Amino acid sequence: MPEVRLVGMNNEQLGVVSIHDALTRARALDLDLVEVAPAAAPPVCRIMDYGKFKYMQSKREQEARKKQTVIQVKEIKVRPKTDDHDLNTKVKHIRRFLEDGDKVKITVRFRGRELAYASQSGFEVLKHVLDAVVDLSKVESPPKMEGKTMMMVVSPTGQKKKPTVAQPPAAAKRTVETGAASKKPKDLPGPAEKQEGK
């Protein structure tokens, strides 16, 4: 009858026993016999609660996933003739992505005759974007042409923007006075003026 090296539920070594004997011991404890090292000679089996083992393993994996920081790569596409307003809007999106800890891939797409001046116009657009986010980012992949596109990847430096305290609008600072107390008293003659009038 084949033999196995048996390990107890508390990791104690129980020696080399027959499979029948190992199964009998596991059943007596109302536990499972699990082969943990099939390549060993003889194979190693352990007495354990397999359901509890699988549950604890999944919990550990779940905790490890929670602690992992997932860095995403966001992509922003621009054109060489994108006007300033649209470009500034895209820069705001890039800044927000970097503040959230994500990398950003900026892609300049060219069409038709734009390819003749691709290197110059593409570099200008990317330089404008880089200048606008230089305080939050570092260049991970410098600008390069790939077919009809020029791309650059920037990653966050790790310096998060300090939250700004919102100032109340000027209108909210003014106190509005209402009621009789706020009205100016009419110019009433004083006692001396009354006497002169008599």
Task: Reduce the secondary structure of 170-198 to three states and give it as a string.
Answer: HHHHCCCCCCHHHCCCCCCCCHHHHHHHC
Task: Name the residue among 73, 94, 90, 74 with its Cα closest to residue 82.
Answer: 90
The answer to pTM > 0.75 is no
Q: In DSSP terms, which residues pair with 154 in a beta bridge?
A: 104, 139
The 3-state DSSP class for residue 167 equals: coil
The answer to whether residue 56 scores a pLDDT higher than 70 is yes
Instruction: Give the pLDDT confidence of 14-35 residue by residue, as tens digits.
Output: 899 999 999 999 999 999 999 9
- Domain ranges in the chain are 3-67, 73-156
CATH number of 3-67: 3.10.20.80
pLDDT of 59 reads 92
Does 47 have pLDDT greater than 90? Answer: yes
Sheet holding 44-48, edge to edge: 13-18, 3-7, 44-48, 32-37
Q: Which CATH superfamily groups domain 73-156?
A: Translation initiation factor 3 (IF-3), C-terminal domain (3.30.110.10)
The SS3 call for residue 101 is: coil
Give the pLDDT confidence score for residue 142 in this predicted structure: 87
Q: Among residues 127, 119, 115, which one has the least CA distance to residue 87? A: 127
**Residues 93/104, Cβ–Cβ less than 8 Å:** no
Are the C-beta atoms of residues 83 and 113 closer than 8 Å to each other? no
Q: What is the pLDDT of residues 122-167, one digit of tens each?
A: 888 888 888 888 888 888 888 888 888 888 899 888 655 444 444 4
